[in-house]
Structure 1
Amino acid sequence: MKKRVGLLSLVIGLAILGACGKSGDTETVKEVLPLNVELTVAEQAEVGETVKMEALVTYGDENVEDADKVVYEVWEEGKKDDSVMIDSVNEKNGLYTAETSFDHDGLFHIQVHVDARQLHTMPVKEVTIGEGAEHHDDHAEHEHGRTEGFSLHFMKPENAVIEEETELVSHVQIDGQPLENANVRYEVWSDVTGEKHIWIDTEETVAGEYAAAYTFSEIGTYSVKIHVKNDDGLHEHEELTFEVK
């Protein structure tokens, strides 16, 4: 009789533990929803005209009113290295706005960088100002050769100092979604290093974010070319500069 009672108690105890384990597992599972950004910009405007930029940020069905960062980046075609960053105004209900204007004809790119819910996204739109850009066959060939929907943002180091580790971070997306499992490498060079090019491998820290740390030993202006490849045949690159003090 005692053996039967003991066995019954053991079975009940295991059942309770199993139920608790399942309940705990259920509570720790958290669904990861997509971070969506609807960027609205006029396709065409005149020189000197105010161009309004609007980004509606949503996470699932929720309007995100507390995004960690919403910043607009604006540059003229072929001059990404001279881009300008413009802070947004939180209009509530998930809407973040900013304004800009242009002092000459050309084709310009407007990209919004959004950090929220531990995710990052960065849709981009084009706006033609006045008569638009003059046609350059070599530049057009490069632009049209880019993979459709591909977007890359290199976070320029703002406080790079010699003899200290500098973090180099890029966000890569395709069709507005993080590009995962890519091979991303930084090719770095400068006048102070002569003809030597430094190759730095990255690690994917979160989906679509590729980071590496490097210690520079010389003060100067450095060029970095970000190379992006994956197993599907994608091969893109973008070149920028940054300062090391």
Structure 2
Amino acid sequence: MRKTLVIVLLFLFVTACSSNSSENNKTEENTMEEPKSLEVNFDLPESAETGKAVPLKATVTYGEEMVADAEEMSFEYWNVEDEANKTMVESVNNNDGTYTAEVTFQQPGTYEIYAHTTARELHTIPKKSITVTGEPTEEHSHPSHEDTEHSHQHQNENFHMQFTTIETAKVNEEITLTVSPMLDEQPLENAEVRYEIIQDGEKEHKWLDATEQAGVYTATHTFAKTGSSTVVIHVTNDEGLHEHEEHSIEVTE
């Protein structure tokens, strides 16, 4: 009888240990799971001809999930020789994680195109370039999207940013990013300002939430390696303002 009791207790002990080990393994697996990121695969041909429609397509994913309900997915483009003249084109949601639109360029030149994407409380704006050749067909390029009422100048003419320019930075040394957004020649207060850090060769973008003091927005950052980096300043507010501006920083030893 005593021997049987010992065997039963030993069995229960081994079972409990096995259960704890399994739970610990699950906990470790959950802990080691990498955070999901918002990714946009932006398809764009390298070249096009004036007067011919160019298809734009963005495939949006969050981890392994196809994002069919992005809060924002639009394309913004401009001629590099005329950056003040920007056009925004709303995409068509195909409800399968892909978003499409078309544009027709009427002027030859090099154009840059942003794929503005907001989903899962994240925002990213991959950028690509396209070279347009041929004869001018009209004074300005325009979107060939069916719903043209969505196309407009993206920049608010009464808005501008005063960014404390940093042309170079040293690796592993902290820098302070400072910007003063202005609207109607007045400091813009109570806005949301974020700095997006894009380092050449890095897939992941780093986001910094700025701290405001009397309309001046600051954040600190330390570059971990040398190379060229782009800082994109995003400014939004509750009144629907959404502006951004790019600056380049060269990181050295």
TM-score, normalised with respect to structure 1: 0.53
Residue aligning to 2:224 = 231
Return 5+ residue gaps in structure 2 as ranges.
136-179, 240-253
Contiguous gaps of at least 5 residues in structure 1: 133-155, 180-207
Question: What is the 5 A alignment of 1:19-34?
Answer: 19=21, 21-22=23-24, 24-25=26-27, 28-29=30-31, 30-32=33-35
Of all paired residues, the percent bearing the same amino acid is 23
Moved >6 Å (runs of 4+): 156-161, 226-229, 238-245
Q: Paired residues, what number?
A: 188
Structure 1 pair 163–72 and aligned structure 2 pair: CA distance change class (3 A): closer
Quote the residue 1:18 is aligned against.
Answer: 20
Alpha-carbon displacement from aligned partner over 1:133-186 (angstroms, at most 9, x marks no partner): xxxxxxxxxxxxxxxxxxxxxxx979998584332113233447124xxxxxxx
Residue 123 of structure 1: how far off its partner (Å)? 3.0
> How big is the shift at 1:212?
0.4
CA shift digits 1:12-34 (9 cap, x unpaired):
58526624632651674545466
User: Which of 170, 176, 192 matches 1:167?
Assistant: 192
Which letter does structure 2 place at the counterpart of 1:177?
A: K
Aligned to 2:78: 75
| Residue number in structure 2 paired with 1:188 | none
1:177 pairs with one of 186, 189, 203: 203
- AA partner of residue 47 (structure 2): E
Q: Does the C-alpha gap of structure 1 residues 170 and 102 become closer, same or farther in structure 2, counting only changes over 3 Å?
A: farther
Distance, in Å, in 1 between the alignment partners of 2:112 and 2:16 is 62
Q: Give matches, 1:17-166, under 5 Å.
A: 18-19=20-21, 21-22=23-24, 24-25=26-27, 28-29=30-31, 30-32=33-35, 35-41=39-45, 43-46=47-50, 48-58=51-61, 63-77=66-80, 79-80=82-83, 82-116=85-119, 120-130=123-133, 164-166=189-191
Q: CA deviation at 1:111?
A: 1.9
Asked whether the equivalents of residues 228 and 237 of structure 1 are also in contact (C-alpha less than 8 Å), the reply is no
* CA RMSD between the two structures: 4.9
Structure 1 residues 230 and 238 mapped into 2: Cα distance closer, same or farther (>3 Å)? closer
C-alpha distance 40-12 of structure 1, shift in aligned 2 (>3 A): same
SS in 2 for 1:178: coil
> Aligned partners of 1:131, 1:33: CA distance in 2, in Å?
43
- The whole-number CA distance in structure 2 between the counterparts of 1:241 and 1:60 is 24
The answer to whether the aligner puts 1:209 opposite 2:211 as a matched pair is no
TM-score for the superposition, normalised by structure 2: 0.51
Counterpart-to-counterpart distance in 2, 1:14 and 1:159: 65
